[in-house]
Chains A and B, each alone.
Chain A
Amino acid sequence: MKDNNTVKERVLNFFRGEKRSILLILSPSLLWYMVFLMAPLVLMVVLSFWRMEDVHLIPTFVLDNYIRFFTDPTYSRLLLKSIGMAGAVTAGCVGLGYPIAYYLSFKTRISKYTLLCLLMGPYLTSYVIQIFAWRHLILSYGGIVNTLLMNLGLIREPLTWIMNNQYVVIFILIQSWTPWIVLPMFASLEKIDKSLLEAAADLGASPMQTFLKVTLPLSMPGVLVAVLFVLIPSVGEFVTPSWVGGPGGYMYANIIQASFHRGLHWPFGSTLTIMMLIVTLGIVFVLLKKVSWEQIMESL
């Protein structure tokens, strides 16, 4: 008979119980989610009911911060404006990215995966680097765009409206996010059974009809994942607007950032963050009704 009492055997026997092993292999990530996601979020909710006296946090339960949010229209207006900007970014990204995904899936004769890797190249580093290039080298007062236009004799004075407004923020976000959301759309285009397209053509559909009636509807789940991947982070964007947005391009997350770093008003900052959390979760729930978990998995 085999000796069952060695330490190794005992340890293995412990893991052989299914319930125990599920709990055990789930515990590291669950612990992480509980301590570094749920606990901080709960703490933030608690803090949003506290008060500040000078520079001191007063633990209490008051609605002051929420009253301030709802009575001063500046905040909700800025939140709406940020959602609008994020919507514009999303529309731009999907509009520019869909043809790219379509090209990669149906048209290219070069290796799709080489082109995909090339497309992902910019994500090797932070988009802060791209923002720096746009702000200080390309769109600045003495930057490349102005120099070129002046040398061509098209303008006499450097253009200043090409920087520090919300449209630049939207443009830079579009160019930095689009490659990333090509992935989910590409994944769902790849899954389309090509014989369906041939069938449509055999039945006399023009390429345009085939696209509108077959390809586009079948790739909709990928488009929705793409929307999810760009809309949510854009709503919470504060880096791009703080360096290329100017006063007109400020977004909601900039006042959150300010209330923690300059204003030092943590309870009100928490309230601002929670309002954004509610809006984000609302968007997520609407989108996720139409998207399966597997769809998200295949998008990576």
Chain B
Amino acid sequence: MVSERVRDTIFSVYFALFMILIYAPFVVLMVFSFNDSTLLTLPLEGFTLKWYWKFFGNAQAFSSILNSLLVASATAVLAILGGTMAAFALVRHRFAGRTILQWFMLLPMILPYVIMGIALFLFFSIVGIEPSLFTVTLGHTLVALPYVTLIMVARLIGFDRSLEEAAMDLGADEITTFRKVTLPIIMPGIVASAFLAFTISFEDVSLAYFLLGYERTVPVFIYGVLGRVPKELPMLPAMSMVTLSIAFVLAIISTLIARE
């Protein structure tokens, strides 16, 4: 019989090894982003910041970060509006077809991105909408909607409605009640949804690949460089680090807001 203690140690070691495995690519990227060589091989040649300058000086690469931020922010706003409203309907009302609707709303979360990507690509082509950051935002909002709806439903299920009734009894109208009572209570859910919707859009390559026009988002830019433009390869570690830092800062900000 293995003792409890030994088993706990095995689990801890396993967890540590697992963390090393999933963070290894990022550690390697960070090291190479400062490496003074055009070759992406060992041995390391010394410290430099030139890849970061190269990245900031590369108009296409730099603007892809701005594009990503724009698309992801727009996605978060649209998905929160639609998803929160739908969540209110699902939690607070009983109506015919509610169960079917609940499952139907999970569809974009369950289908492979490539299917939605192709279908939307065909749709926009035939309707005559040029592929652009706008079409990507429409697609990203679709895939973010189920996640926001689920998070908001979870938040609303635990919502004590007598608080709203109390406000109404005290003479507040619906708008005031929503602003002063409902909104503050569901705020943590909204922040979590915003972060998740933003991230879904920010990291997506499979859907954006089919919907983007000339202007690209970060993952699609990197996807393209991997295939065609080896000249820009040495800059990618630096670019990855910048992207990661941005996402990391946003994660911390949203955690801080959610705590308040």
Cβ-defined partner of B11 (8 Å) among A107, A115, A288: A107
Q: How far is the CB of A143 from chain B (nearest CB, A)?
A: 7
Which DSSP category, helix, strand, loop or mixed, fits chain B's interface?
A: helix
Please provide the chain A residues from 249 to 285 with a CB less than 8 Å away from any CB of chain B in the complex: 253, 256-257, 260, 266, 269-270, 273, 276-277, 280, 284
Task: Pick the interface stretch among A63-71, A72-80, A125-133.
Answer: A125-133
Please provide the chain A residues from 11 to 43 with a CB less than 8 Å away from any CB of chain B in the complex: 12, 15, 18-19, 21-22, 25-26, 28-30, 32-33, 36-37, 39-41, 43
In the complex, what distance in Å separates the CA atom of A140 from the CA atom of B106? 39
Task: Pick the interface stretch among B36-44, B47-55, B159-167, B180-188.
Answer: B36-44
The answer, yes or no, to whether B110 is at the interface (CB within 8 Å) is yes
Assess whether A126 is in contact with B218, with CB atoms less than 8 Å apart: yes
Please provide the chain B residues from 124 to 168 with a CB less than 8 Å away from any CB of chain A in the complex: 126, 138-139, 141-142, 145, 147, 149-151, 153-154
Residues of B close to A108: CB separation below 8 A: 12, 15
In the complex, what distance in Å separates the CA atom of A102 from the CA atom of B237? 34
Assess whether A133 is in contact with B120, with CB atoms less than 8 Å apart: no
Residues of A close to B40: CB separation below 8 A: 136-137, 140, 142-143
Q: Mark B92-126, 1 if CB is under 8 A from A, else 0.
A: 01010000011111111011111110111111001
Residue ID in chain B nearest A259 by CB atoms:
B118
Number of A-B contacts (CB under 8 A): 252
In the complex, what distance in Å separates the CA atom of A127 from the CA atom of B110? 19
Which of B88, B113, B173, B218 has the most chain A CB within a 10 Å cutoff? B113
The answer, yes or no, to whether B240 is at the interface (CB within 8 Å) is yes
Which of A41, A128, A134 has the most chain B CB within a 10 Å cutoff? A128
Residues of A in contact with B, size category? 35 or more
| B residues apposed to A, CB below 8 Å | 1, 4, 7-8, 11-12, 14-15, 18-19, 21-26, 28-29, 32, 39-43, 81-83, 85-86, 88-89, 93, 95, 101-108, 110-116, 118-123, 126, 138-139, 141-142, 145, 147, 149-151, 153-154, 173-175, 196, 199, 202-206, 209-210, 218-219, 222-223, 226-227, 233, 236-237, 240, 243-244, 247-248, 251, 255
A-B contact pairs, 8 of them (CB 8 A): A26-B101, A33-B104, A36-B120, A129-B222, A137-B29, A228-B110, A284-B110, A297-B150
